Every structure is written in C-alpha cells, then in structure tokens.
Amino acid sequence: MVPESKQPDAHAGCGCGHHDPVGRRSFFKEAATVGLGIAAIVAPIGAAIAVMFDPLRRKSKAASNMVRVASLRSVPSDGIPRKFAILADRTDAWNKFPSTPIGAVYLRRPDEKTVEAFNVVCPHAGGFIDYNVQNKCFLCPLHNSAFSLDGSIMDPKSPSPRPMDSLKVEVRNGEIWVSFQNFLAGTREKIPA
Amino acid sequence: MSPLPGFIDWLDQRTGCRSLTKEALYENIPGGARWRYVWGSTLTFTFIVQIVTGIALWAAYSPSSQTAWESVFYIQNSMSGGWLLRGIHHYTAQAMNILLVLHLMQVIIDGAYKAPREVNFWFGMLLLVLVLALSLTGYLLPWDQKGYWATKVATNIAAITPLFGTAVQKIIVGGTDYGHHTLTRFFALHAGVLPGAAIALIIGHIALFRRHGITAKKPYRKPDAAFWPDQLLIDSVACLAIVGAVMVLVLMNHGAELGPPADPSENFSAARPEWYFLFLFQFLKYFPGGTEVLGAILIPGIVMVVVFLMPLIGRSVKGHRFNIAFLFALIIGASVLTWLAMAEDRRRPEIVAAAHSAEQTAERVKHLANSPSGIPASGAITLLRNDPLTQGPKLFAKYCASCHRYDGHDGTGLKLKEQPTASDLKGFGSREWLTGLLDPDQINGAHYFGRTKFKNGKMVKFVNKKVRAFSGEQKTQLTNVVAAVSAEAALKSQQQLDGSSKTQIEAGRLAFKDQVGCAECHQFHSKDADASGPDLTGWASREWLVGIISNPKSPHYYAEDNDRMPAFADEKILDANSIGLIADWLRGEWYEPAETR
C-alpha cells in the first residue's frame, strides 16, 4: 500500500493553488492511462469485430441465375403443383459444392402454355410450404399460412404478409428454367435476401 | 500430529481461505433451512451439470454442415456413454427452464425483488434470457431436420426486428444462407459467449444475494441455521431428485433424439421448436399478414419490460399484487398456448405423418451410417440421397404413381383416390408377379393390363385363349417358364429359390421356345427380328428396368406399341441416378442391416 503522505491526491482540493501542477500531472496521468489502455486493445478488438461483422458484406450469390429445373413433360398441365429441388453450384464458406440442392420450387402448369414457379419458402417466417392434397391449396405447416394454387393469399387472417414468392420462368427447348432466388421473410414487399 | 492444520494456517495467511470458506458456507438462514429455498441452488447445480457435460460434448463435436450431424451421430452411437451424455445435457436443459420459472415465481410471490434487491432481480432476468438463448442455439447444433427448420424460423423472426433486424440475422447466421458459418457462430454463442456471460452474471447474482441475505419467509418456524450443512443438505436432496428425474427421461428415451440430417430441399412439416418455446410458436399463428412484428417482437418485448420493471411496480402493495397477477396470467396463457399447439399437431394427419416418417428416416440413416461403407466425407445426407429405400418411394410417388401403383398405394403408403391406369409394380420380377400376369383371371384386372391399351393386345389374347386351355403338362411347363424368366431378374428376395431350382429354370428356358410359345413374340437369349413384344432377356434386371424407364419406345421394349409411358431419360424427365434408384427400389436392392435380414 502507498503510504498516506505520498498519495498524489493528498492535498487535492485544498484550493491553495500551490498544488495545481500535481493535479494537472494527475490528470495527464489518468488521461494517458485511459488512452494507452484503449490504444492497446483497439487492434485486437477491431480485428474481432471485423470478423464477427464479416457476414454483413456477404450477398446471396444464387440470385437471378437461370437454373434448369425440370423437363416440361414432368409437369402435367393439370394445374397441380409439383415440387422440384433446385440444383446449383453452391459456395458455403470454404467449400464449393457443384450441383447441390440449394432450395426447392413448386412448378405448376395451369394450362398448356403457362408455367408458374414459386419458391417453397413461406414469406411469413421461412417455413417450407406444403401442398395440401385434400384442399388443393398451399399450406405452411408452421403457422398455417394458406395460399391458393396461383400463390395468392387464400385466407387474409393467415400470417403471411405477402403471396408466395413467384419466380421468373422460361421454357427453353422443352425444359423449364427458373431464376431461383430467396427473399426476406416477414415483409410485405418482396426483398431479395 | 497431523500436518494438515499447519498447512491450512500457512495457506490461510497467504490466501485468506478460512474467511472465504466461512463466508461461503456459514451464511445465516433466519428461521432455519427450508425446502422452499432450494431453487437457486438447483439452478446453479444444473448450470454446472451443463458446463461439465457440455465440455465433454464439445470435445467430440465438429461444427460444419458436413460434420455436425455426423459427429453428434458418432457421439450418440459409437462413443462409450455418448448417448447418456447427450441425454443428460438435453434433459437437464429442459429441467433448467422449468426451474427458472419456479425460481422466478418464488421471487415474485415472496416479494424477493423488493428494495434493496432490485439489481439482483435484474441479474436474474438477464440470466433467464441467457438460458433461453442457450436452449435456442443448442437446438440447431445437431443439424438435424427438426433443429434446422425450427431455427430457421427463429432467425427469420430476428430479422423482422425494426432497424437492425436483418443485420442481426446476417451476423448470427453468418451470411444470407444457412451453412458452415451458421454452425460455427451458433456454437461460439452456445459454448462461449452465452455461458461466459452467464458465469459472470451468476457470480454477480450470488454475490448480491449474499450481500442482502436470503428473503426469509415469515413466520420463522425454527431457530436460525447456517447454509452449511443444514440448507445444503436439503439442496443436495433436491439436486439429486432433479438428476433422478433427468435420468429417468434419458433412460426412457435412450438419450436425446437425433432426427435425419438437415436437408434444405426436403421439407419437414413437423419442425417445431422445443416444447418450452411452443407458446411463442402458437402465438404467432394469431397475427395476420403484416402484423407479425406485434406477436413476435412487440408484445413479447412489452411483457419482458413489464417483468423487468416488477421491482419498481412492486413497491406498493397494489403493485406487488399486480405483479403476481401478471405472472400467473403469463404462465396460464403460455400453458394454454402450449396445449393448443400440441393439440393441433396431434389432430393434423400431415404433421403426425411427417413426424413418423422423420423417425423412420432417422432410423434408416442410422443403419446406412453403420453399414460397411459408413458415412462418406460428403456427409450423411448423401447416404439418404443415394438410398433406394429412401428415394425410391418418393420418386415413384412423383413420377410413376400417376398411372402405376405399388401394392395398391403410391409408393409412400398413400392410397390415391384415382384408380390406377397401369400395372401394380410391387414384386415386379418375382415369380408371383409373373404367375399373376399369366393367369387368365388376373391379366385383365387393374393389377396388370386391365386399364392399359394392352388389354386388347396379343399377350392378353394369348393368356385368355391358349393358357386357359393349357393341359396339365403345359401348365407345369408354364411354371418352369415363370421360374426361368423370373430368374433373369436375379432378385435378392429370390436368391435362394433361384439357386435351388436350377433344373427347373433350365427346363423353363427350353419350354419358353417350344412348348409354351412365348418365343412367338418375345426374344429370350437369341436374336429374332420378328419379335413384337419386349425382349425378355434379363427381364426385370437392373439394366432391363433402367432401360425401359429410360425409353420404353426402344425396339428392345414396346417400340411402337408403347402405351402412355414417357421416356424418362430421353425426355430428360429424370436423370440416370434417379432412374437407377427407382429400379433398385422396385427390385428390393438396398442395404439391409444384418439383424433385420
């Protein structure tokens, strides 16, 4: 322990002016301690924050590339939706996976000419929407968001804020190509994830 | 003389250990030790259990999307005591959540949050939030279908938090998509950040508790006692009872459940959070589109704020009563919501079916992982994706069941309302199937050609006229032909039968050409340019099946006579791998574990 008489602030606050240099020196000492302490920790903490926040720079790469999903023949034009996995190259941090399932879509042909594609992910909270055979509708098995076959909201009381996310479809030489994309859940607008 | 007291003196002079021990153990308990004071101790105990079991699990766990499920599987099934360890960690976590509610109830009912203990109440509330966060992050780590899909919902809900929600989601998930970094981050939270924060808060919580002393329940029934040994004895009994309850659950369920590995392209309708989060899950169902933020963030947020403010609200008698009423309303509300969620799931056949099929898939992947080939580096999910028994029924239901049936159903067990319009392929290639086809009473039934364009074809005419009129000798020859053609399939299920009837098969091959007259239309191990029916060389073998599924219009099969069957390969409906899976499944070619063989 520092002896009483040698404590730097032993005369602090006596107001005589004589001890000001001590007070000033004490202030500088304190400021320097705090400043040097912060300086010492700034690089390690900065690096840690940089790595922790790195995902903010990541953008979804799957966006807007056309992917071949199925042949036109595998989706009968009876209006009944059929589920297909989306196979695409995927980079997961340090790994590259060639042609791996990255999600799924419902394809549907209401008539001979039209092909519709919906992302299977529920716009409410990201559940995987089921096709309900009995009621001929889409039903999310989590919070019961219900959608008509054209993807529109069937029951306005159900929790989804927007219709199922439709995706751009092209038919090329009898094959169905889809621009596969995921969207943010829980928003009224369709915002790419 | 024992050297021990001397050593303790020496140590005490240097560390002050005597006064520390005294402070820790001889805390005064006014009115004596009581059962109602056990909750804090039991929570500390369960937390220590979680740290000990958690570190042991940590030493065997590998967080990445190819190794998380696999390492947990290894812990569960291969490491000695692994299932026990997982089970204890899993069920103790559940016990902690119950104990937290009991502890909170007692603190509020007894008014233990009142001045000067407000800060300690807030420490406790933060600990409650941390324990819930530990539960949530731990649920994902096995990377099974249930944890994967349930946690996706949780992180999506985090994203709807106004202002910084999406940023928070990205940081926790480690990007826009679930993958390696979701696991590394959840694991860092689960095993590092959250328990570290909890330890700091527990130290503060206990220090503050000691500073203010226990909130003793009046009237005092007995003289004051000390923490050691009076209260600690009771606490120990309570802790033992909790471990006992946990052990019962662990043994009953053989440890914690491990579902099938996570698959982003495979839905899991029975994905649910842990039971103690079910009330929040159910609550969300009541908020129509666009108001989700109310049910997911705002209302739970307000509830948490009210509970945080309870020490201030509880200053007056009325405020204290309000707190108690609020707490009971919360508990009753949460219980009702939990019950509603469970009741609805039991009522809905698709949820029950999904849970059942997940159990079966989990069992299947366990067999595959234990098979001689084991789990490949690409992960257990590839075992399932390449397993005929898992994929065959799904592919059949999607691509074949619009016309065909399998034992009357669509392959997955679902009976369809529509009538089949092509043959039932259960047992295709077997003697039984072929015998039925050659039976005049069956060939034109729905099971075979009755609803196809072959119902008026040569084969049906042949069976109806010639076979019907067969003599006894010819019938025997026909049986031999059945044996010979069916032997082409080389089915696993007929291996023994084929092996033991080599002479019959040989006789059948000869009869095929002469006595029975199949060779008039079919080729069989010989070239015949005039043959109009499918070539029966290698009938129902893998190669034959892959061929007919790939292109039934090939001259080898139905050629121009093909009914409605698509050329699955040539029309690019299915890839070679999927066609192979269907063929293998129809032929019963899949891995069977030794004990069920």
Q: Closest Cα of chain A to B267: distance in Å?
A: 6
Contacts of B293 in chain A (CB under 8 A): 186
Q: Which of A60, A120, A156 sits opposite B177 (nearest CB)?
A: A60
From chain B residues 341-370, the ones with a CB under 8 A of any chain A CB are 348, 350-351, 354
Mean pLDDT of A53-59: 87
Could you give the CA distance from residue B490 to residue B499 in angstroms, rounded to a whole number?
A: 10
A88 interaction partners in chain B (CB closer than 8 Å): none
For chain B, positions 4-63, list CB contacts with chain A under 8 A: none
| Alpha-carbon separation of residue B224 from B26, B31, B541 (angstroms) | 11, 5, 85
How confident is residue A2, by pLDDT bands cut at 50, 70 and 90?
very low
CB contact under 8 A, B180 and A52: no
Q: Measure CA B527 to chain center.
A: 53
Give the SS3 label for residue B136: helix
**By C-alpha distance, which of B189, B216, B346 is closest to B278?**
B346
pLDDT of residue A74: 85
Q: Which residue from A101, A107, A89, A87 is spatially nearest to A171, judged by alpha carbons?
A: A107
Residue type, B356: H
Are B290 and A185 in contact (CB < 8 Å)? no
Query: Which of A60, A92, A101 lies closest to B180 in CB terms?
Result: A92
Residue B577 pLDDT: 94
* DSSP track, B541-575: SHHHHHHHHH-TTSTTTTGGG--S---TTTTTSS-
Residue of A118, A171, A187 to mutate, interface with B, max B Cβ within 10 Å: A187
Segment A43-51 mean pLDDT: 96
- For residue B2, the Cα-to-chain-centroid distance in whole angstroms is 59
Q: Do A185 and B263 touch (CB under 8 A)?
A: no
> Residue-wise pLDDT tens for chain B (597 aa)?
577 889 999 999 999 999 999 888 888 889 989 999 999 999 999 999 999 999 999 999 999 999 999 999 999 999 999 999 999 999 999 999 999 999 999 999 999 999 999 999 999 999 999 999 999 999 999 999 999 999 999 999 999 888 898 899 999 999 888 999 999 999 999 999 999 999 999 999 999 999 998 888 888 888 898 888 999 999 999 999 999 999 999 999 999 999 999 998 888 889 999 999 999 999 999 999 889 899 999 999 999 999 999 999 999 999 999 999 999 999 999 999 999 999 999 999 889 988 998 999 999 999 999 999 899 999 999 999 999 999 999 999 989 998 999 999 999 888 888 889 999 999 999 999 999 999 999 999 999 999 999 999 999 999 999 999 998 899 999 999 999 999 999 999 999 999 999 999 999 999 998 888 898 899 999 888 888 899 999 999 999 999 999 999 999 999 989 999 999 998 888 999 999 999 999 999 999 988 654
A77-112 confidence digits (pLDDT tens): 889 999 999 998 888 999 999 888 889 999 999 999
With beta carbons under 8 A apart, name residues in chain B contacting A71: 571-573
B566 touches chain A (CB under 8 A): yes
Query: Strand A146-147's sheet: what is its strand order?
Result: A130-132, A137-139, A146-147
**What local confidence, expressed as pLDDT, does residue A10 receive?**
47
Q: Which residues of B touch A142 (CB under 8 A)?
A: 153, 271, 281
Nearest to A101 among B170, B265, B351 (CB): B265
Split at pLDDT 50, 70, 90, the class of A4 is very low
Which pLDDT value is given to residue B40? 93
Would you state the pLDDT for residue B413? Answer: 85
pTM as predicted = 0.90
Q: Nearest CA to CA, how far is A58 from chain B (Å)? A: 6
Mutate to test the interface with B, among A74, A152, A154, A177 (most CBs of B within 10 A): A74
Residue in B152, B267, B292 closest to A161 by CB: B292
Contacts of A73 in chain B (CB under 8 A): 566, 571-573
Determine whether the interchain pair B292/A159 forms a contact, defined as Cβ–Cβ distance below 8 Å. Answer: yes
How much is the pLDDT for B331? 97
Q: Which residue has the higher pLDDT, A30 or A21?
A: A30
Q: List the single residue in A86, A120, A143 with the smallest CB-CB distance to B284.
A: A143
Residue B265 forms contact with A (CB below 8 Å): yes
Using an 8 Å CB-CB cutoff, list chain A residues near B348. 141
- Min Cα distance A51 → chain B (Å) is 10
Up-side HSE of residue B468: CA atoms within 13 Å toward CB? 11
- Report the residue from A130, A159, A187 with minimal CB separation from B284: A159
Question: In one letter, which amino acid is B279?
Answer: F
Q: What is the mean pLDDT of residues A181-186?
A: 90
Q: By CA distance, what is A183's nearest residue in B?
A: B176
CA dihedral of B166, B295, A127, B257, whole degrees rounded to 10: 100
Residue A11 has pLDDT above 50, yes or no: no
**Best of A99, A121, A124 to mutate (most B CBs within 10 Å, chain B):** A124
pLDDT given at position B416:
83
pLDDT band at A19 (very low <50, low <70, confident <90, very high): low
Q: Please name the member of A52, A92, A186 whose beta carbon is closest to the beta carbon of B292.
A: A186
Chain B hits for A70, Cβ within 8 Å: 573
For residues A150-168, average pLDDT = 93
Q: Chain B partners of A158 at a C-beta cutoff of 8 Å? A: 288-289
Q: How far is A116 from chain B (nearest CA, A)?
A: 18
Instruction: Report the half-sphere exposure of B543 (CA within 13 A, side-chain side).
Output: 7
Q: Which residues of chain A have a CB within 8 Å of the CB of B268?
A: 128
Handedness of CA B284, B285, B291, B292 (dihedral sign): positive
* Residue B286 structure tokens: 């009541």
CB A126 within 8 Å of CB A113: no
Q: Which residues of B449-467 are buried (b: 16+ CB within 10 A; e: fewer)?
A: bbbbebeebebbebbeeeb
Q: Which residues of B touch A187 (CB under 8 A)?
A: 160
- Residue in B closest to A78 by C-alpha: B402
Q: What is the pLDDT of residue B594?
A: 81
Please give the Cα distance from A35 to B138 (Å, whole number): 40
Contact list, B170 vs chain A (CB under 8 Å):
55-56, 58
Number of A:B CB contacts under 8 A?
A: 139
Which residues from chain B sit within 8 angstroms of residue A188, using beta carbons?
289-290
8 Å CB contact of B179 and A92: yes
